[in-house]
Amino acid sequence: MRVAVVGVTGLVGTVMCEVLKERNFPISEFIPVASARSVGKQIEFSGRNHTIVSLEDAVNLKPDFALFSAGGNVSLEWAPKFAEVGTTVVDNSSAWRMHDDIPLVVPEVNADVLTEQDRIIANPNCSTIQLVVALAPLEKAFGIKRLVISTYQSITGTGVKALNQYDAEREGNPLSQDENAYHYPIFDNCIPHCDIFLENDYTKEEMKLVHESRKILGHPELAVTATAVRVPVHGGHSEAVNIEFSKDVSIEQLKSTLREAPGIVMQDDPAANDYPMPLFAKHKDEVFVGRIRIDESQKNTFNIWVVADNLRKGAATNTIQIAEYLIAQGLVKGKGLQVGA
């Protein structure tokens, strides 16, 4: 497979490269792509130096896959150009997610929607991915009536600028407001403001959880409300999820269903202080679920706690799992290279 990583020098792009190597993705040619200021520079991948190329040059190389993490405007302009030359694009931005004709995919949940004709595939928002991995088996088994979600999201979800702000504040040398990622300090603080505010006073991040979850779960009328909070954490996103079911459910049934679901690691032993935390989810690809308990205020309602590394399962790993599925199903055949070659 000829694989282009678009946005290769960014946080997610860097992790994509790590995951491609770790999972032995079948690459015959690696094509690093970045903005004009990085073109011509060298980047190491699998023990070799590669020259970063422009988007235009990458399109002309006609890769089998273009894995995008370069922002929505770049994706809107360039993903169709890659698609026109036969490249399969998996895009991490929000640009294509809610287009009716573009699949929005978490492999453990809905990879079966993919076809050989799909040339642009949307990777969901990081907080949505871990949420639906936990919810999909529950929706299938019991039917979900309503969700109330509170997220505690890592600064890594904002990017390098947020890391620089955090480090400067921690060291007691705060940056100027123009250099900061956030309007307020993030060190020793929690900010109930992820992405921009919309007309309904929810943030864009909160509404992504609403709309993307409905699309992926195939439940367009699902009642969802969310609050997204940025926290001074590096390891991943955490979510407190209150779930009201349509059917009668016991806590034993709930735990059994989650325990058997793909991509989930159960950590649910309060007596042993065993529960998911971003500190331990960091650098891992699974979704961790625990603190499972009955909501004693309402019938057929439960609380769960969901944690995952937002740069891996929430972005890079999910992207590469989509590509792996396409290869395994023969939907992208590449240049004659077989899976595992």
Q: Active site residue: 17, 50, 99, 126, which one?
A: 126
Q: What is the 3 state secondary structure string of the chain?
A: CEEEEECCCCHHHHHHHHHHHHCCCCCCEEEEECCCCCCCCEEEECCEEEECECHHHHHHCCCCEEEECCCHHHHHHHHHHHHHCCCEEEECCCCCCCCCCCCECCHHHHHHHCCCCCCEEECCCHHHHHHHHHHHHHHHHHCEEEEEEEEEECHHHCCHHHHHHHHHHHCCCCCCHHHCCCCCCCCCCCECCCCCECCCCCEHHHHHHHHHHHHHHCCCCCEEEEEEEECCCCCCEEEEEEEEECCCCCHHHHHHHHHCCCCEEECCEHHHCECCCHHHHCCCCCEEEEEEEECCCCCCEEEEEEEECCCHHHHHHHHHHHHHHHHHCCCCCCCCCCCCC
Q: Is 190 a catalytic residue?
A: no
With 0-12 / 13-18 / 19 or more C-beta atoms within 10 angstroms meaning exposed / middle / buried, residue 188 is exposed
Q: Which residue has the tokens 């060298």?
A: 42
- Catalytic pick from 183, 234, 237, 283? 237
User: Which residues, in sequence order, are CB contacts of 341 under 8 Å at separation 6+?
Assistant: 26
Q: Angle CA(175)–CA(181)–CA(182) in degrees, nearest 5?
A: 95
Q: Answer yes or no: 50 catalytic.
A: no
The residues that are catalytic are 126, 237
